[in-house]
Structure 1
């Protein structure tokens, strides 16, 4: 992680769960973190956990809003300069049906919210982050927090369009890698796909079911970032020991 000390990382969905753990671990590794979320107070509260030489700065941003994302990245560029690392972590899972066959159909607003936050947001953020990396002539790293649900559809239909968005992240990561390769660009892109993680999103999961801690996922991301400039981990799947296919 030495090459990232003093550099700037943007973490979306930084107010809780994996995003909060990532912000703290990166700051403790010497990285200056800009945490994006709709609520900034929880990000500000993370500063007390920073023991390293890095920092955490909160910025309000709804990643589903193209204008909001553009404004946030312009502010980051003006305040910090280059975006060296982008971690697309913001995500939402709203349980319910795609249709009304089970009498629990999600509202149209909820369906569009899941798609906008989980898929549109990462694409918008990556476009701005890569533009910053290129304008500053820096070979940075984009990490997309995916899910095992981006590789197979779990047994429960309550995942509804969430799985579609995570399959979309798998495809987006591969497409972005191909585009960068076509132009001999050395910016890295990695998809990190956790199994069940004990976060607010996993509310309802049984306590005895094996699950990762948010810090486990953060440690995996730091491992990905620590690889040498000549090595890219395209996909990393991380699950708790004894987790079965959901």
Structure 2
């Protein structure tokens, strides 16, 4: 029996790309998944064949009220959050204060030194450093929460369609398998950093 069966996961940016791939992987693992996105109908489509397992919530991650409502709804209607995948948008401060959850941040492309992309590159390094700071804060508090920074290379997505023909890239399923690897580690193992890149990637 899967150790993930009927445990609750929240996935942000769940309507397409990496987020949608992660939703599918977690559903196949037996989890109940709450998918947050502005395009709720796209999330609903992922639940075919998983009736009663996927719960789509229209959520604007730039609005604190939307985020709070989504988490409150999940606790009241689905159950306590075991896994949080921050695939898009902003984090929510109170999520790390208490609870037995695993928190992830999909930071976008692996932080690399790209000429002409100094702001973009800096933001990626910033996310990595911020996530590690959260991990240390959580560890210092004695909490059982695990925090992971998963850094993908170029991944096929709506946003990347215009230049995919120029580069090699990963599929969303590749990242989803990485997430499953992280959340199936034993309680005493926290995968703090995982980088997944296409073989031969030069970005």
Q: Same fold (TM over 0.5)?
A: yes
RMSD: 2.0
Q: CA deviation at 1:128?
A: 4.1
Q: Distance in 1 between matches of 2:164 and 2:10?
A: 32
Secondary structure, aligned partner of 2:18: helix
State which drifts further: 75-84 or 17-26: 75-84
Distance in 1 (CA, whole Å) between partners of 2:140 and 2:54 is 35
Say which of 17, 35, 60 aligns to 1:62: 60
Deviation at 1:28, TM superposition (A): 0.7
Aligned partners of 1:29 and 1:54 also within 8 Å: no
Q: 2:131·2:149 contact (CA, 8 Å) conserved in 1?
A: yes
Q: Is the 8 A contact 1:15 1:42 kept in 2?
A: yes
Higher relative contact order (CA 8 A, sep 6+): 2
Whole-angstrom CA distance in 2 between matches of 1:130 and 1:68: 18
| Equivalent in the alignment of 2:183 | 225
Matched, 1:212 2:170: yes
What CA distance in whole angstroms lies between the structure 1 residues aligned with 2:114 and 2:182?
26
* Distance in 1 (alpha carbons) for counterparts of 2:123 and 2:74: 27
Cα deviation, residue 209, structure 1: 1.7
1:171-210 equivalence runs, <5 A: 171-210=129-168
Q: Which residue of structure 2 aligns with residue 5 of structure 1?
A: 5
- Listed one character per residue, the Cα deviations across residues 7-30 of structure 1 (whole Å, up to 9, x for unaligned) are 100000000000001101100100
The residue aligned with 2:113 is: 153
Secondary structure at the aligned position of 2:148 is classed as strand
Using structure 1 for the length normalisation, give the TM-score. 0.76
Number of equivalent positions:
203
Distance 1:190 1:22, change over 3 A: same
Does structure 1 retain, via aligned residues, the 8 Å contact 2:104–2:150? yes
- Once residues 13 and 86 of structure 1 are traced to their aligned partners in structure 2, the CA distance between those partners, rounded to angstroms, is 12
The residue number in structure 2 matching 1:129 is 95
Q: Which has the larger radius of gyration?
A: 1
Q: SS state of the match for residue 217, structure 1?
A: helix
Shift of 1:156: 4.2
Query: Equivalents in 2 of 1:165, 1:83: separation in Å?
Result: 28
Q: Once the two structures are superposed, what CA deviation does each residue of 1:7-62 show, in whole Å capped at 9, x if it has no partner?
A: 10000000000000110110010000000001100000011264xx9721100111
Unaligned runs of 5+ in 2: none
The alpha carbon displacement at 1:164 in A equals: 3.6
Does the CA contact (< 8 Å) of 1:198 and 1:214 recur in 2? Answer: yes
2:199 alignment counterpart: 241
User: Aligned residue for 1:97?
Assistant: none
Which runs of 5 or more structure 1 residues have no equivalent in the other structure?
Answer: 91-116
